[in-house]
Each structure stands twice: as structure tokens, then as C-alpha cells.
């Protein structure tokens, strides 16, 4: 599915429905303790007449109301339920295929994150109908949350939010990306590094008068690299590149112990003519493009540890060799498997 980079918003119409803020309707809102956060004049039902669309603040939170013009002033056509919110993120008119809708997004602010709620509204037969109601979370950068900044290597765009996809039966699919997945690694000189490896994605499709969730899963920024296994001696595990690609991450499944031999003492990694040593404490010796290592235990596979090695920039390669630092009769005693990954995005290193 091809995804566009942004939503398509319609330009604001020039209001000709009169001055709402000087009307009896507005004075009635103020007497009721309701304040207006945003006001637009839009033709939202395709009848050629402009309606007034308001974002209102009530004691209980924010709501959207639609007002029609009449000879006597403005008449309330409909109002959504109030939702707890600190901020109006977006009140826009958006084109979904050939359909006009109101994009109403709010946020509840917390010290570490904002909880966003997105609703899509259409007006039919004088009624406000909700065709989507979903929530997602945006985590604040460390600098905004008052925490120490972290080094993050971003392998793809990981800002939460919505995108519009291909059109099905007159309505485009909607894709929501959120919950970036970060891996905590040890960088050179023990300076921690976080690796952004993907996000959760949720796909919504229009069906039975509303958008409905049709799939949810993890979307990774890394892609497996095809290799050819080659023979290079019993004590080593070797492979050649089967395609022209740049190595970003190496994931190795290491046996902690095998027949009295400690395989987790570390290993030597040779990539073409470059040699790296990764110790059992995940220390790194070798060229600076191997910037970080990490490990985690597989609870479903006792005695196995997954060791990660991250390159930045991603490096071109033809031949790779893994050799345990301790003497073993066969590489299979220590290495069960090794997987190589590349990324299709421009990686960005930043402090956040």
C-alpha cells in the first residue's frame, strides 16, 4: 500500500454568514460558561451554504458544534459530546476521497507524554456523525520532560501520527503509526545508545458508515539481508553477501555454555578486512563504525543470548566471519544463528 506523506486539508472558505461573535447565539454560549477555542466557516454538507464550526471549551472538556444561518441569526445544528482535553491539536476540514469531513483532534497533557484523541466527523441530514474515534500517545523528548537527554539512532521516521493511504470504495484507508520501539544498547566508552527500530501500525478501512480497525502490528525499519553460508573452518561461522546492501545491524544467537566451554566470553567479528572484538561485557575494540552493542536473554530458550552489533554509518560488505574468543571444536557450539539487517531509510543520530 502506498502511503502519502500528509493529509490533504481544504482551504478555509471566506465567511459570509455574518459575525457569529456578535450574535445572540454567541452571547448564549458565554452565559452558559462556554468559551470558543476556534471558529471556521465551511460548507460541510455540500449544500452550497456555509456553516459555522466551533471548537468549544466546556467544564468537562472540548466539543465541536455546528451552527446554521437563519434570518434570525444562528441555529445550533448539532454538538458532539465533551471530551476531557487540555489542548485543541487540530480542527480542520479534510477531504477523504470525494467526502468532506471535520478532523477534530485533542490532547491530554502529562509530564512525560500527551494522550491524543482523533475524531472524524461528517454532517448528514443536519446531524453530526462520528466516523472515526481513536487514541494514540506522543512521548515528550527528554529535554521537554525534564529528563537527561538520550542518544538515539533513528533508522526511520518514528513520529506518531496519521497518514492517508489508497482509496477503497470511495474512502481512503487511514494508517496510524505510534509507540516507537527503542532498544537500549551500550555505546563505545559505555555511553548508552537507544536504537529506534520500528513502530506499531494500525490500519483503518471505511465499512458500514465508519472507519474500522482491520489490522494492527509492528512495522520495522530493518530488513533482513540475504547471505550465502560458506565454509571457512570448524571454529568460525562465515557468510558472503548475496546482494548489494549495507550492513546496519548484526544479531547473533550465542550459547552461554556448551560442554563446559564458556561461549559468552566474547567473539571476533571480521567484516572484509576490518576486525572487531566484542567482549563478554559487550565492550568494543576495532574501527569506530561499530558504535554499539547490546544483548538480551530469550526466556523461551534458556541458555541462549541474543547479541546485537550496530554499525553507523551502515557499511558495505562482501564477507563476514564470526569466531569465538575461547577455543571450541566447532562454531556451532557457540553460534546457533546469525542474522544481518539493513535499513532503507537515512539514519539520523540525535540527542533527545
Q: How many domains does the chain have?
A: 1
Q: Is residue 240 part of a domain?
A: yes
- Assign residue 239 the CATH number of its domain: 2.60.120
Strands 151-154 and 192-207: parallel
Q: What is the pLDDT of residue 88?
A: 97
Please say whether the beta carbons of 58 and 82 come within 8 A.
yes
The kind and range of the H/E element at 25 are helix 24-31
d(C-alpha 196, C-alpha 156), whole Å: 8
Task: Give me the phi and psi of 338, to 5 degrees please.
Answer: -140, 130
Whole-model pTM: value is 0.82
Please say whether the beta carbons of 149 and 121 come within 8 A.
no
* Total Cβ atoms within 10 A of residue 233: 11
Q: What is the pLDDT of residue 93?
A: 94
Say which residues have a Cβ less than 8 Å from residue 144's Cβ, sequence separation at least 6.
none
The kind and range of the H/E element at 289 are none
- How confident is the model over 247-268, as pLDDT tens digits? 999 998 876 554 444 565 788 8
Task: Give me the phi and psi of 236, to 5 degrees please.
Answer: -125, 155
Q: Is residue 91 part of a domain?
A: no
The C-alpha cell that represents 190 in the structure block: 559505555
Q: Is residue 327 part of a domain?
A: yes
- How confident is the model over 97-142, as pLDDT tens digits? 888 999 999 999 988 899 999 999 998 877 899 999 999 999 887 7
Q: Is residue 38 part of a domain?
A: no
Q: Is residue 195 part of a domain?
A: no
Q: What is the pLDDT of residue 8?
A: 54
Q: What is the pLDDT of residue 72?
A: 79
C-alpha separations of 124 from 82, 128, 167 in Å: 20, 7, 21
Q: Is residue 324 part of a domain?
A: yes
Q: Is residue 204 part of a domain?
A: no
Q: In a structure prediction context, what are the per-residue pLDDT tens digits for the chain, which is 352 residues long?
A: 333 334 555 544 444 445 788 889 999 999 999 999 999 999 888 888 889 999 999 999 999 999 988 877 889 999 999 999 999 999 999 999 888 999 999 999 988 899 999 999 998 877 899 999 999 999 887 766 667 788 889 888 888 999 999 988 889 999 999 999 998 998 887 788 999 999 999 999 999 999 999 999 999 999 999 999 888 877 788 899 988 889 999 998 876 554 444 565 788 899 999 999 988 888 899 999 999 998 877 666 666 778 899 999 999 999 999 888 776 555 666 777 788 999 866 667 666 5
Range of the domain at 313: 223-345
Q: Is residue 319 part of a domain?
A: yes
Amino acid at each position: 500500500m502506498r502511503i502519502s506523506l500528509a493529509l490533504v486539508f481544504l482551504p478555509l472558505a471566506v465567511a459570509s454568514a455574518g459575525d457569529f461573535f456578535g450574535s445572540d447565539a454567541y452571547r448564549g454560549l458565554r452565559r452558559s460558561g462556554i468559551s470558543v477555542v476556534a471558529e471556521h466557516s465551511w460548507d460541510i454538507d455540500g449544500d452550497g451554504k456555509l456553516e459555522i464550526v466551533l471548537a468549544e471549551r466546556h467544564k468537562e472538556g472540548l466539543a465541536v458544534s455546528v451552527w446554521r444561518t437563519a434570518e434570525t441569526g444562528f441555529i445550533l445544528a448539532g454538538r458532539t459530546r465533551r471530551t476531557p482535553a487540555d489542548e485543541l491539536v487540530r480542527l480542520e476540514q479534510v477531504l477523504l476521497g470525494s467526502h468532506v469531513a471535520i478532523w477534530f483532534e485533542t490532547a491530554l497533557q502529562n509530564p512525560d507524554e500527551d494522550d491524543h484523541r482523533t475524531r472524524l466527523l461528517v454532517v448528514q441530514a443536519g446531524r453530526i456523525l462520528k466516523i472515526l474515534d481513536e487514541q494514540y500517545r506522543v512521548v515528550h523528548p527528554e529535554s521537554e520532560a525534564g529528563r537527561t537527554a538520550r542518544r538515539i539512532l533513528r533508522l526511520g521516521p518514528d513520529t506518531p501520527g496519521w497518514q492517508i493511504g489508497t482509496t477503497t470504495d470511495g474512502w481512503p484507508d487511514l494508517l496510524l503509526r505510534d509507540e516507537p520501539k527503542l532498544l537500549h544498547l551500550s555505546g563505545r566508552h559505555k555511553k548508552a545508545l537507544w536504537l529506534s527500530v520500528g513502530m506499531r501500525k494500525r490500519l483503518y478501512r471505511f465499512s458500514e458508515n465508519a472507519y474500522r480497525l482491520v489490522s494492527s502490528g509492528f512495522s520495522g525499519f530493518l530488513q533482513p539481508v540475504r547471505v550465502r553460508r560458506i565454509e571457512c573452518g570448524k571454529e568460525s561461522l562465515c557468510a558472503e553477501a548475496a546482494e548489494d546492501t549495507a550492513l546496519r545491524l548484526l544479531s547473533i544467537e550465542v550459547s552461554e555454555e556448551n560442554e563446559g566451554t564458556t561461549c559468552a566470553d566474547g567473539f571476533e567479528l571480521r567484516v572484509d578486512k576490518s576486525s572487531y572484538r566484542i567482549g563478554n561485557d559487550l565492550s568494543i575494540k576495532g574501527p569506530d563504525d561499530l558504535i554499539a552493542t547490546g544483548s538480551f536473554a530469550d526466556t523461551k530458550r534458556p541458555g541462549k543470548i541474543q547479541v546485537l552489533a550496530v554499525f553507523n554509518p551502515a557499511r558495505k560488505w562482501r564477507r563476514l566471519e564470526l569466531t569465538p574468543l575461547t577455543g571450541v571444536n566447532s562454531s556451532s557450539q557457540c553460534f546457533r544463528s546469525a542474522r544481518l539487517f539493513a535499513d532503507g531509510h537515512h539514519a539520523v543520530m540525535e540527542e533527545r
